Amino acid sequence: MHTPKIIAVAVALNERTKNRLRLLRGIGIAGRHYFSKLKSFNMDSSSSSVAKRYCYNPNLRWNPQVEEYFIKAYGADHFTRISEALTRPSCYSCIRVNILKSTNEAVIEKLTRLLQGGTVDDLHCLSIGKQVSASTAGDVGLREESIDCMFNLSLEEAPKNGRKPMKLFKGPSICQCRFSGLDHVLFVKGSGPHSIHYGNQPDQSVKEVIVSRKCAEAVLRGAQIFVPGLLACSSHVEKGDIVAVSVAVEQSSADGGWGVSLTRGTVLQGSQADPLYLERNGMYIGQGITKFSRAGMFRASEGIAVEMKDRVYRLPSFHNLLEGEIFLQNLPSIVAAHVLDPQQGERILDMCAAPGGKTTAIAMLMRDNGEVIAIDRSHNKVMDIKKLAAEMDLTCIRAYRLDALKSVSQTGLGTDVVATNLDREIYDITIMKSSSRLDNGDMHRVNMDRDKIDAEIMSMGNHGNGRYVSKRELRKPTQMMKNGPGRIHSIGGRAENSKGFLPDSFDRILLDAPCSALGLRPRLFAAVETMESLQTHAKYQRRMFDQAVQLVRTGGVIVYSTCTINPGENEALVRYALDTYKFLSLAPQNPRVGGPGLVGKCELFGGKHAETWLTQSEAELVQRFDPSATLDTIGFFIAKFNVGQK
């Protein structure tokens, strides 16, 4: 039985329904369209929010003073384009073919066979067309223009700007560079940016992993996600799950520094309560398949954590592919080795050689005939150089552990292992004898016949730069081998130390100086560099250049290069060199691929910071590679000096 109160509520609800029906009849079809559009707008807003989150649209952050400095140097619009270009990889990979072991045709044939056979997953990007959304169409159009220039520009289509145009074979994804002198370089076309569907719905969370910024930069260049790069993961993730990959970029902290406020192993709940939820908007770099469960990812010490299957940018990594025949290297780095113009039989120094790309390029251009000394202050990096040289079958490279700031011998004796013929001959004799004993299984001790060694030493005399070499010094290789190979030998050898080199002992020197690296791509964070740190880089580069000037002979060549866009480490160094050493002069460069340097000077912060750069004629002799230019390279700088009478 219905109570009066229930009946009253029912009547009221009925009246409210009737009023709504009258309202809809009154507004008619137009009203229904309005409500339909309103509903559609709400859905579109939600979809737009999701699309904005699950995309790749980073904003490169700079230190405010550094940003002001670069705007002064380049202009606001130009610097904005540079910043945008730095956040994405180049649209192509550059391969240097080892012409002493292979040919362009052979490498292209092998890569094509691997691609067609489907045996190399890293190459799948070469056969995939673009799939882009309207939101990225503008970006893609700009990159398409760059790609077309790299792969399709002919002499007739080249702009009439007075510069020699780039000439490339027109055609497939793999083609040969036709810059003068760079015919052993291949370009492999990539693709992107791609719009990726993560299976996301407005009311559903997506399984995610967060990686470190450095890991993400490697992934954007074609790498996989390894265990150390993983920071956080959604709950209930099992092996084989598909996950969206986002990036945690450093944020400012309370102490004025920078860091990621995220503890490794954090569980992601897929809500705005997650750490760095808002910061990850627009920072999704692709989709992958987990190789571990969530628990396994953070227990493992090494290995691939997530195998990338769908990337924002698709570029092959060429990891462990055709080792010894090819080397993946940025185009400006290859140009720097060519600008040095090494000749057969010369003695050349690569002052900051790791990982050995330019070193091996120099040795290859010399046809492995001469002597290339490569130095680095890190033992492991020296071993990397030696390993790369062995892979490429280059025997003229000798790598040593030495700080570039101490390259000139302090004793004036040139005490590096290969400073004299006597040193080299005795070293070869002792190592050969010790190795023969070791190869025969006598690993417990190597009993050398000291009298015989002493006789060999005396018979060779004290020739070699006219200095006396003690028996103790000559026996050092023997002493090292007496106790067997040891731990370092058992893992593949050791890096010899050097005490420096004699002044005027090199024909040519390449100083690819340690720098702020603000030209490397992709880069997702740049605010760690301050004006003080940039000035510190420049100070050390000047000291290294001073060492190079002492080591090169009269009539020799010094090539200075960096991978930064900072004029203080580039044009300002050239100004210092020319003003300090009057016997140095800028030399024309071949091949000429980059643009001119910066002209004029810069004064900022009330005169507290002042730099003088180049004159117009000097600027035309250096090469500056702009990451925002059509060539689409990393930011790079090259200056070549002829050494006159000291």
Which tokens hold the place of 517? 């690296």
Please report, for residues 261, 341, 504, 590, the alpha-carbon distance to residue 584 in angstroms, rounded to integers and kept in the order given.
50, 17, 14, 18
Angstrom CA distances, 495 to 396, 420, 431, stand at 16, 19, 15
The Cα 166–Cα 508 span in angstroms is: 28
Q: Is 414 marked as binding a ligand?
A: no
Contact 479, 453 (CB under 8 A): no
Exposure pattern of 361-397 as b/e (b: 16+ CB <10 Å)?
A: bbbbbbebebbbbbbbeeeebbbbbbebbebbebebb
The answer to whether 515 is annotated as binding is: no
User: Contact, 636 vs 594, CB < 8 A?
Assistant: yes
357 is in an annotated binding site: yes
Two tokens, residue 543: 């000291």
As a whole number of angstroms, the distance between CA 334 and CA 364 comes to 11
423 in a known ligand binding site: no
| Integer Cα distance of 584 and 594 in angstroms | 22
Strands 552-562, 506-512: pairing is parallel
**Distance, first Cα to last Cα, the chain:** 116
Please tell me the distance from the alpha carbon of residue 498 to that of residue 553, in angstroms, as a whole number. Answer: 20
Q: At what angle do helices 450-460 and 421-439 cross, to 10 degrees?
A: 150
- 356 assigned to a ligand binding site: yes
Q: What are phi and psi of 422, to 5 degrees?
A: -60, -45
Task: Please name which of 220, 223, 301 lies closest in space to residue 58, comparing C-alpha atoms.
Answer: 220
Question: Residue 555, SS3?
Answer: strand
- Please state the separation of Cα 52 from the chain's center in Å: 28
DSSP E strand boundaries for 387-453 = 397-401
Q: Tell me the three-class secondary structure of 87-150, residue by residue.
A: CCCCCEEEEEECCCCCCHHHHHHHHHHHHHHCCCHHHHHHHCCCCCCHHHHHHHHHHHHHHHHH
Q: Determine whether the annotation assigns residue 403 to a binding site.
A: yes
Sign of the alpha-carbon dihedral angle for 389, 392, 393, 395? negative
Q: Is 594 annotated as a binding residue?
A: no
Token pair belonging to 91? 């649209």
Q: Is residue 121 marked as binding?
A: no
Question: Residue for token digits 């790079």?
Answer: 636
Residue from 125, 396, 515, 563 carrying the catalytic annotation: 563
Give the DSSP letter of residue 193: P
Tell me: is residue 504 an annotated ligand-binding position: no
Question: What is the Cα–Cα distance from 70 to 567, expressed in whole angstroms?
Answer: 9
125 closest CA partner among 286, 307, 317, 288? 317
Tell me if 626 is assigned to a ligand binding site.
Answer: no
- Residue partners of 344: CB distance under 8 A and separation at least 6: 366, 367, 369, 370
Contact 620, 595 (CB under 8 A): no
Please indicate whether residue 602 is annotated as part of the active site.
no
Known binding residues = 352-358, 376, 403, 512
Q: Which residues are catalytic?
A: 563
Known binding residues for S-adenosyl-L-methionine = 352-358, 376, 403, 512
